[in-house]
Amino acid sequence: MSLAGLSDYHVHTPLCRHAQGWPVEMAERAVALGLTELGFADHNPMPEPFDDWRMLREELPRYLEEVELVRCRFPKLPVRLGLEMDYLDGAEAWWEELRGLAEWDFWIGSVHYLPGGMEVDNPKYLSRYREADPEEIWSLYWKQYEACIRSGWFDFVGHPDLPKKFGFVPAGDLRRFYEPAIQALVDTGIAYEVNTAGLRKDCRALYPARGFVELAREAGVPVLINSDAHDPAELGAGYAEAVAMLREAGYREVVRFERRRRQSVPLPESGSGTAGV
């Protein structure tokens, strides 16, 4: 399918130490795919060295330069500047400072760390998943996710049901986890992403699951589709599945961001456009 009319705002760079393809290469791929807008959202720097999967604070200028370079080289491609922010308790003073360091178009709020330090999506913690009751990890995660939304710092939230990544899912109706998060989205007016990276993980499913999308649609929560590309080959990947799921749930619009102002645009029809891309 052609990706005309669609955007990809969750795109990483090699500065995070686990991605390849500099912004210029991502932009070349975006043009080849027909994407209408491209947004960069690398893992946010922290005031002090923090873990081994994000840019250092001193590398932020390089990040801004790389995105600026793309804007110069691809004047016809709207290029948005964002960050994938780790929601961590007590980080507000740093966020306040970081917010002033660039003209951000959007910030994604993501929960990768649980209180206590477990990393939800890091294979280092697979033994924790095997030993713990998934109910326990999911409960901790969704409580933190709701706090992330309610913090009000983010323009949209990332990969909602991330703890399913390795296939550990509690028994029963999962709406008990989704509902408080969706209520928080309604209360704050914040959007969420359908993130296609899950299709490439053990769970082989979009983040979030259809059940979440259906409830969010009924509640009128805005959405956008992103790939979470850590490689140009992943840009726009899985978009046909994501468009189909959103349309089946009743969505007809997706959102975009510029200087943190949100705009709704039509969601293209599933399977429209030229085949073979």
Residues contributing to the site for Zn ion (CB under 5 A):
158, 228
146 counts as binding Fe ion under rule CB under 5 A:
no
228 counts as binding Fe ion under rule CB under 5 A:
yes
Do 222 and 253 contact (CB within 8 A), yes or no? Answer: yes
Q: What angle do CA 92, 97, 102 make, to 5 degrees?
A: 125
Minimum CB distance to Zn ion smaller for 146 or for 193: 193
Q: Is the dihedral of CA 122, 148, 200, 213 positive or negative?
A: positive
Helix 134-150 / helix 175-188 crossing angle, nearest 10 deg:
10
**Amino acid, res. 274:** T
**Amino acid, res. 109:** G
Return the residue matching tokens 């007590």: 90
66-95 binders of Fe ion (CB under 5 A): 84
Minimum CB distance to Fe ion smaller for 2 or for 110: 110
Minimum CB distance to Zn ion smaller for 126 or for 277: 126
Do 6 and 39 contact (CB within 8 A), yes or no? Answer: no
Minimum CB distance to Fe ion smaller for 2 or for 63: 63
Element (H, E) at 57: none
Site string for Fe ion, 101-120 (x = CB under 5 A): ---------x----------
Residues 6 or more apart whose CB falls under 8 angstroms from that of 257 comprise 9, 39, 80, 82, 105, 106, 155, 156, 263
Beta carbon of residue 158, minimum distance to Fe ion (angstroms, whole number): 5
> Residue 146 touches which of Zn ion, Fe ion, none (CB < 5 to 8 A by kind)?
none
Beta carbon of residue 198, minimum distance to Fe ion (angstroms, whole number): 11
Kindly state the DSSP code that residue 268 receives in the 8-state scheme. Answer: P
Beta carbon of residue 76, minimum distance to Fe ion (angstroms, whole number): 26
> Residue 151 touches which of Fe ion, Zn ion, none (CB < 5 to 8 A by kind)?
none
Minimum CB distance to Fe ion smaller for 8 or for 228: 228
Residues 6 or more apart whose CB falls under 8 angstroms from that of 143 comprise none
193 counts as binding Fe ion under rule CB under 5 A:
no
Beta carbon of residue 211, minimum distance to Zn ion (angstroms, whole number): 21
Beta carbon of residue 86, minimum distance to Fe ion (angstroms, whole number): 8
237-276 binders of Fe ion (CB under 5 A): none
Beta carbon of residue 220, minimum distance to Fe ion (angstroms, whole number): 25
Beta carbon of residue 7, minimum distance to Fe ion (angstroms, whole number): 15
| Pure H helices in the chain | 23-33, 60-73, 92-99, 126-131, 134-150, 175-188, 210-218, 239-248
Contact stretch for Fe ion (CB under 5 A) within 27-35, 201-209, 225-233, 252-260: 225-233
Contact positions vs Fe ion (CB under 5 A) = 84, 110, 228
